Amino acid sequence: MTHHPFRTASGGFIDRSKPVRFRFDGRDYRGFEGDTLASALLAEGVRLVGRSFKYHRPRGILSAGPEEPNALVELRSGARREPNTRATVAELFEGLEATSQNRWPSLTFDLMSVNGLFAPGLVAGFYYKTFMWPSAFWEKLYEPLIRRAAGLGRAANAEDPDHYEKAFAFCDLLVIGSGPAGLAAALAAGRSGARVILCEQDFRLGGQLLAERREIDGRPATEWLAETIAELASLDTVRLMPRTTVFGLYDHGVFGAVERVSDHLPVPPPHQPRQRGWRIYAKRSVLAAGAIERPIVFAGNDKPGVMLASAVRSYVNRFGVLPGRKAVLFTAGDEAWSTAADLSAAGAEIVAIIDSRPDANPARADLARKLGARYLAGGAVTAARGWQQLDHITVREASGAETVLPCDLLAVSNGWNPALHLTSHQNGKPVWNEAAQAFVPGDVPPGMAVAGNAAGRWTLAEALVDGDRLSREAVADLGFTPAPAARMPAIEAEATGLLPVWRVKGGRGKAFVDFQNDVTDKDVEIAAREGFRSVEHLKRYTTLGMATDQGKTSNLSGLALMAEQTGQSIAATGTTRFRPPYTPVAIGALAGHHRGRDFRSTRLSPTHEWSRQAGAVFIESGAWLRAQYYPQPGENDWLTSVNREVLAVRKGVGLCDVSTLGKIDIQGRDAATFLERVYTNGWANLPVGKARYGLMLREDGFVFDDGTTSRLGENHFLMTTTTANAERVMQHLEFCHQVLWPELDLHMASVSDQWAQAAVAGPRSRETLARLVDAPHDISNAAFPYLAVREITVAGGIPARLFRLSFSGELAYELAVPARYGDAMMAALMEEGRDFGITPYGIEALGVLRIEKGHVAGNELNGQTTARDLGLGGLMSPRKDYIGRLMATRPALTEPNRPMLAGFKPVNKADRLRAGAHFLDLSSTATMENDLGFMTSVAFSPHLGHWIGLGLIRGGTSRIGERVRAHDPVRGGDFEVEICSPVFIDPEGVRLRG
């Protein structure tokens, strides 16, 4: 039998037959299955768990839940290290390893605690007032010191080895929280047949019931709990999700949740994620998230051994742990009195019960007497003392007399704050409720109802009634026949009297408001004195509530102290807005699978497999992976391969995949009219069986996209777009049709994915194709001239489309076949072209060929250029209206001195041009005013034997023959280039018509 010094003899939801070994700060300990790290540490007598943020004060365990500000540890090690993990919610597992953080060299001996000596200077906002001189010291000295001292835990500096998932769920009713209100809600909705999801952040369902010795219907509440959970588990439409925190509410009933699938295991099981990020789409929701107990502000209230009363009950009743043997209870209300009884029953000595309320209530006096405890009505703890953990407290009695009480546990309770955070995520403002002495939900988001403690209704009976009623109302609203109201079980009456104590003055030492950020009552006073009085100013100036606990235990104390300073009520002071997430969420859980190569989906061309077998080197090109070049044996650098590919096209025949271009099929009586309106140039007169280059502007007059569009029939066009803009052009065309001109009779559909398309380019392309095209189709120059388009068959009956188009400036074709034949088409063309030396080429060579020919592409269509800038002004028809026509006439778009397209070649032919270089006149200095434009695209032309470029330069082609500087200081380049025609190859276009 494992012996834990502070474990009770029996009871609790732990499995005493299953010991679990774990390590903390290098020492071995044991707990039981069902423990949290915090409960196991307490059972082993470990009180000192961490050091505070600023003053490095010793800190212990304040709570038993996610609100924990103090007991933060680095959990696990190596690449799995998780900083700032709350020991209070970390489920114990075999071999768990945890380390304290923010201390040096060790937890018990922390040299950084000298900060405490400087504490008088480290008050709210001190850094805004200092470190200003000398200013060069800020980045070099002051800031590095601050940065090193700040922060809490250390993140792993290695790739997260675990995996995450995203999941989606839909339900009629989402219930958040599995305390009595949540269980009642889930049960009522489940019985009606509605689809219910119940999320519970804890690994065990039951909420606060797990921590209380309560009775329902005269039996232990745990029996009711077990029966209720069993019934819920038996209902098909109910999904129970423990270890799942609903962290945020987004618009229209979309909830974000994170499920900790494997955090209770040493490593995730095979094929299981560490965590799963959920999007839950809920038609209705019941928030039954309970409430968070409030501590009291007094000197030394951060000492290990000072603990929330509800946490004490949780450790005693749920985990079978005595957080101390000599206990004092300091409470502002009735509800925490059960703590004393529970502790006593578990074997602790109750030294005293200090109830801040002055009226000496006989029933309470009687209870204290039974427990053998002093009852100090109207008393207050002025200070908690001890070295590294609680040793004694000083108490100011109602009479004013000071008493010292030795103790190792001080349970504190100042009432509760409803866990209403989700009601505030859509900007709902909590409102102060005087009866509940708490902020309660104000405007509740549509579809949500709030039950029990979360609504500031404190009793068990109210929780059960609320959950049942609100759930039945919600499902009735959705059209279900609600189950009859549940029979209300008999529950003993509860006293919920409360008179909060916002701070106890007069003790020596620091009194903390925000434990984790080391914000004291004095800091709040300074903020008030300096005018930072609004709640947001208070938060931002003092950092109150900005720590990892998001102020769950501190916000209200801070507001109350500010209210005290300003003489306003708490209600008038108001509260800051709660932001998602409710508790911090691992970034991995929200990213899911999207990392590494799966960060974004990868689109593969229908000829990809063929390219892969041909040895292509692939490159990311937007969403696509495209063949960049096809190295041959013996080629050691990309340029050698690309040069070979380019020359093959110029001298023989090349083959290139162009399937990624956008393809839009447009049909209808008004199809030609439509094209007239979306393109700058004319379409009405395009004959059937012909293609034409088209230029599209945005409505603001700048160039949007270009491509060729073919007329396949009188009322049938096939448009191509650039790869990058395929989707945006489709969207734009649908806008033009559905919104601007719905009267036009046409239909369009994207057929980008339906066709595999290859460019077959070079002087031997016709001969190559002729071998593949089926007999009846004549592709001779006479029968199938430049810009001809025809629907044909290839390879014995496979439907195909043949376009005589040329991006390279050579005699060239594009052949399209249904996408499933993509790889086969490439293989067949290679086969048929073998005699002509057919050479596959990738997008590098494609780029070289188009630059040599002076065709503009993405680098020139950059959204900042006009048609005239690109030498395409002649395509702007004066005889019709089209998208962008009018705005293109604005003065700035027609200024003659705009940078215009030209070609560039190095004066020293050995110089390598680079895109992104700016142009300057030879004599001018390098200033912004002298900037003439920039190089947009460059390539090494194997044909010319030197680098060539396209660029935009003031004066454009009117300056052909002049020399300018290509200025590229970020890459150390600055040399002379000569302005030339952008067409470096065959300016008369003889080859492509040949």
Partner 1 sequence: MLISCPHCGARDSQEFAYLGAADLQRPDGLEASLAAMTDYVYLRENPAGRLRELWYHRGGCGRWLVVTRDTRNHRIEAVEPARPKGTEAGA
Partner 2 sequence: MRYSVFSLVSQALRGHQGWQPAWRNPEPKREYSVLIIGGGGHGLATAHYLASRYGITDVAVLEKGYLGSGNIGRNTTIIRSNYLLPGNTPFYELSMQLWEGLEKDLNYNAMVSQRGVLNLYHSDAQRDAYARRGNAMRLAGVDSELLDREGVRQMHPYFDYDNARFPIQGGLLQRRGGTARHDAVAWGYARAADQRGVDLIQHCEVTGITVENGRVTGVETTRGPIRAAKVAMVVAGSSSQVAAMAGLRLPIESHVLQAFVSEGLKPLIDGVVTFGAGHFYISQSDKGGLVFGGDIDGYNSYAQRGNLPVIEDVMEAGMGLWPGLGRIRMLRHWGGVMDMSMDGSPIIDTTPVEGLYLNAGWCYGGFKATPASGLCLAHLIATGAPHPVAAAYRLDRFATGHLIDEKGAGAQPNLH
Which of 302, 289, 187, 199 shows the shortest CA–CA distance to 241?
199
Length of the chain: 994
Distance of closest approach, residue 525 Cβ to partner 2, in angstroms: 8
- Strand duo 349-355 + 326-331: pairing: parallel
Distance of closest approach, residue 276 Cβ to partner 1, in angstroms: 18
**Does the footprint of partner 2 cover residue 157 (CB under 8 A)?**
yes
Contact 324, 347 (CB under 8 A): no
Size of the site for partner 1 (CB under 8 A): 32
Site for partner 2 in 731-750 (CB under 8 A): none
Distance of closest approach, residue 469 Cβ to partner 2, in angstroms: 30
Q: Which stretch binds partner 2 (CB under 8 A): 374-382, 389-397, 436-444, 862-870?
A: 862-870
| SS3 track for 912-963 | CCCCCCEEEECCCCCCHHHCCEEEEEEEEECCCCEEEEEEEEECHHHHCCCE
Output 104 or 735, the one with its CB closest to partner 1.
Answer: 735
Output 167 or 783, the one with its CB closest to partner 1.
Answer: 167
Q: Considering CB distances under 5 to 8 angstroms, the limit depending on partner class, which of partner 2, partner 1, none binds residue 675?
A: none
Taking residues 948 to 987 in sequence order and writing x for each that binds partner 2 by CB under 8 A, - otherwise, the string is: -------------------xxxxx----------------
Single-letter code of the amino acid located at 535: V
Q: DSSP secondary structure string, 175-199?
A: EE--SHHHHHHHHHHHHHT--EEEE
SS3 category, 990: helix
Distances in whole angstroms, Cα of residue 900 to Cα of each of 292, 562, 855, 887, 978: 67, 64, 14, 19, 15
Distance of closest approach, residue 248 Cβ to partner 2, in angstroms: 8
**Does the footprint of partner 1 cover residue 473 (CB under 8 A)?**
no
Distance of closest approach, residue 478 Cβ to partner 2, in angstroms: 23
- Please name the residue that has the structure tokens 């003392």: 385
Give the torsion through C-alpha atoms of 675, 681, 684, 685, to 10 deg. -150
Distance of closest approach, residue 826 Cβ to partner 1, in angstroms: 31
Distance of closest approach, residue 733 Cβ to partner 1, in angstroms: 10
Output 106 or 864, the one with its CB closest to partner 2.
Answer: 864
φ/ψ of 533, rounded to 5, equals: -100, -25
Taking residues 413 to 432 in sequence order and writing x for each that binds partner 2 by CB under 8 A, - otherwise, the string is: ------------xxx-----
Distance of closest approach, residue 597 Cβ to partner 2, in angstroms: 5
Q: Which stretch binds partner 1 (CB under 8 A): 299-307, 404-412, 592-600, 735-743?
A: 735-743
Site for partner 2 in 674-733 (CB under 8 A): 698-702, 704
Rounded Cα–Cα distance for residues 711 and 296 (Å): 80
SS3 category, 979: strand
Size of the site for partner 2 (CB under 8 A): 119
Beta-carbon contacts of residue 196 (< 8 Å; ≥ 6 apart)? 171, 172, 173, 174, 175, 186, 189, 190, 235, 237, 238, 239
Distance of closest approach, residue 638 Cβ to partner 1, in angstroms: 36
Site for partner 2 in 830-859 (CB under 8 A): 858-859
Contact 210, 501 (CB under 8 A): no
Rounded Cα–Cα distance for residues 820 and 497 (Å): 76
Q: Which stretch binds partner 2 (CB under 8 A): 502-510, 632-640, 909-917, 957-965?
A: 909-917
Rounded Cα–Cα distance for residues 289 and 67 (Å): 13
Q: Considering CB distances under 5 to 8 angstroms, the limit depending on partner class, which of partner 1, partner 2, none binds residue 782?
A: none
**Does the footprint of partner 2 cover residue 351 (CB under 8 A)?**
no
Site for partner 2 in 920-939 (CB under 8 A): 926-928, 930-931, 934
Q: Considering CB distances under 5 to 8 angstroms, the limit depending on partner class, which of partner 1, partner 2, none binds residue 531?
A: partner 2
Which of 94, 310, 64, 76 shows the shortest CA–CA distance to 201?
64
Q: Which stretch binds partner 2 (CB under 8 A): 58-66, 295-303, 530-538, 824-832?
A: 530-538
Distances in whole angstroms, Cα of residue 785 to Cα of each of 116, 652, 689, 711: 88, 19, 10, 15
DSSP code, position 758? E
**Does the footprint of partner 1 cover residue 426 (CB under 8 A)?**
yes
DSSP code, position 511? B
Output 325 or 603, the one with its CB closest to partner 2.
Answer: 603
SS3 category, 790: strand
Distances in whole angstroms, Cα of residue 798 to Cα of each of 242, 568, 713, 867, 951: 57, 84, 20, 39, 43
**Does the footprint of partner 1 cover residue 427 (CB under 8 A)?**
yes
Q: Considering CB distances under 5 to 8 angstroms, the limit depending on partner class, which of partner 1, partner 2, none binds residue 915?
A: partner 2
Distance of closest approach, residue 281 Cβ to partner 1, in angstroms: 7
Site for partner 2 in 865-894 (CB under 8 A): 887, 890-893
**Does the footprint of partner 2 cover residue 540 (CB under 8 A)?**
yes
Site for partner 1 in 255-294 (CB under 8 A): 279, 281
**Does the footprint of partner 1 cover residue 360 (CB under 8 A)?**
no
Q: Which of 738, 864, 894, 981 binds partner 1 (CB under 8 A)?
A: 738
Site for partner 1 in 747-776 (CB under 8 A): 747
**Does the footprint of partner 2 cover residue 569 (CB under 8 A)?**
no
- Strand duo 96-100 + 15-24: pairing: parallel
**Does the footprint of partner 2 cover residue 78 (CB under 8 A)?**
no
**Does the footprint of partner 1 cover residue 248 (CB under 8 A)?**
no
Q: Which of 42, 917, 979, 983 binds partner 2 (CB under 8 A)?
A: 917
Q: Considering CB distances under 5 to 8 angstroms, the limit depending on partner class, which of partner 1, partner 2, none binds residue 731?
A: partner 1
The token pair that represents 95 in the structure block: 């071999």
**Does the footprint of partner 2 cover residue 83 (CB under 8 A)?**
yes
The token pair that represents 81 in the structure block: 């290290």
φ/ψ of 572, rounded to 5, equals: -75, -30
Q: Considering CB distances under 5 to 8 angstroms, the limit depending on partner class, which of partner 2, partner 1, none binds residue 743?
A: partner 1
Q: Considering CB distances under 5 to 8 angstroms, the limit depending on partner class, which of partner 2, partner 1, none binds residue 130?
A: partner 2
**Does the footprint of partner 2 cover residue 251 (CB under 8 A)?**
yes
Rounded Cα–Cα distance for residues 386 and 325 (Å): 16
Site for partner 2 in 597-616 (CB under 8 A): 597-600, 602
DSSP code, position 634? T
Site for partner 1 in 885-904 (CB under 8 A): 886-887, 889-890
Site for partner 1 in 337-356 (CB under 8 A): none
| Consecutive H or E run containing 817 | strand 812-818
Single-letter code of the amino acid located at 756: A
Q: Which stretch binds partner 2 (CB under 8 A): 244-252, 328-336, 687-695, 735-743?
A: 244-252
Q: Which stretch binds partner 1 (CB under 8 A): 64-72, 358-366, 568-576, 726-734?
A: 726-734
SS3 category, 775: coil
The token pair that represents 737 in the structure block: 């049709």
Q: Which of 131, 203, 741, 975 binds partner 2 (CB under 8 A)?
A: 131
Q: Which of 236, 434, 637, 881 binds partner 1 (CB under 8 A)?
A: 881
Distance of closest approach, residue 562 Cβ to partner 2, in angstroms: 13
Q: DSSP secondary structure string, 450-507?
A: E-GGGGT--SHHHHHHHHHHHHHHHHHHTT--PPPPPPPPP-------B----B----
Q: DSSP secondary structure string, 591-612?
A: HTT-SGGGSS--EE-TTHHHHH
Residues that bind partner 1 (CB under 8 A): 250-254, 279, 281, 426-427, 446, 668, 699-700, 727, 730-731, 734-735, 738-740, 742-743, 745-747, 880-881, 886-887, 889-890
